[in-house]
Amino acid sequence: MSCTRKIYSHIPSLRSINYLKHQKIIITGASRGIGLAIATRFAREGGTCILIGRNGGTLEEARESLPAVKGGGHEVMVGDVGEEGFWREIRHRKGIDVLVNAAGITHASPLFVTSTASMERVLKTNLMGTMLACRGVGVGMLSRRKGCIINVASLLALKGGRGSSAYAGSKAGVIGFTRALAAEAGEKGIRVNVIVPGYIETDMTDAMTPEARAEALNAIPLKRFGQPSDIADAALFLATSKYANNCVLNLDGGLSAV
pLDDT digit string (tens) for 179-191? 999 999 999 999 9
Rounded Cα distance, 38 and 44, in Å: 10
Residues 8, 19, 167, 243: which is the catalytic one?
167
Q: Which class for 240: exposed (0-12), middle (13-18), buried (19 or more C-beta within 10 A)?
A: middle
Q: Give the pLDDT band (50/70/90) at residue 198.
A: very high
Contact present, 9 and 37 (Cβ < 8 Å)? yes
**248 sits in which H/E element:** strand 248-251
Residue 1: predicted pLDDT = 41
Residue 146, amino acid: K
- Annotated catalytic residue 199: no
pLDDT digit string (tens) for 121-173? 999 999 999 999 999 999 999 999 999 999 999 999 999 888 899 999 999 99
Model pTM score: 0.92
pLDDT digit string (tens) for 22-76? 999 999 999 999 999 999 999 999 999 999 999 999 999 999 999 998 767 999 9
Rounded Cα distance, 222 and 242, in Å: 30
Point out the least confidently predicted range of 90-99, 115-124, 227-236. 90-99
Tell me what the pLDDT averaged over the chain comes to. 93
